[in-house]
Amino acid sequence: MKAKNLMQFIPLGIVTLLSILYFLEINLTMYQDETITKGSHLSINIKYLLAITGVSITYLLLFLKIDYWKHVFAVVLMTSIFQLTQFYSFTFYVSFIDISSLALFIFHLSANKNLMDNFRSFHKKSEEEIVESNEFQIQFFEKKYNQVHSDELKLIIHQNTMVPEAIEAARRLIQKRRQERKLVEENQ
């Protein structure tokens, strides 16, 4: 495996190491504490349990060679940034954001450059969505200009200072009014 390929696994390795150390720290200090009743042999924080579950799912996807492990791990890190999960006992917070988890998240994104491309592709509109959005805006302007006189609509078209959807709405209204006039003239 190339060093470049190994780089993408470093954040996961760091989180795994920190999680193991945190688990040992919690349970070793528990044995030294005399106030704990006999019979308690294991202490697990719910935030830690959620983090370990997320990391376990990440490892499962990784071993099954499913490339979505990067996305799952990014989500696990994001939950850690906002204190929903916890990998380790030492934390450095600014307001409600865990800086050390944020650093791991940024490191994960930089080590997996194609991950950001995948996130960006979710935000790009498809051609169909763009056409649908434009059509909605044209209909909005048609309703707005419905009471406007035809001369003003022609002025909107010729000045070409409005947004393209407004100009198209003015064109459609003029065309619609011409067709209505033709129908009225034909019926007389």
Contact indicator for 169, 142 with CB cutoff of 8 Å: yes
Q: What is the pTM (predicted TM-score) of this model?
A: 0.55
User: Rg of the chain over CA atoms, in angstroms?
Assistant: 30
Query: What is the chain's pLDDT, residue by residue, as a tens digit (188 residues)?
Result: 566 677 788 888 888 888 888 877 776 665 555 555 555 555 567 888 888 888 889 989 888 888 888 888 899 989 989 888 888 777 777 888 888 888 888 888 888 888 777 666 666 666 777 777 788 888 888 888 888 888 888 888 888 888 888 888 889 998 988 888 888 888 87
Q: Which residues does 116 contact at the CB level (< 8 Å), separation at least 6?
A: 109
User: Cα–Cα distance between 179 and 183 in angstroms, integer?
Assistant: 6
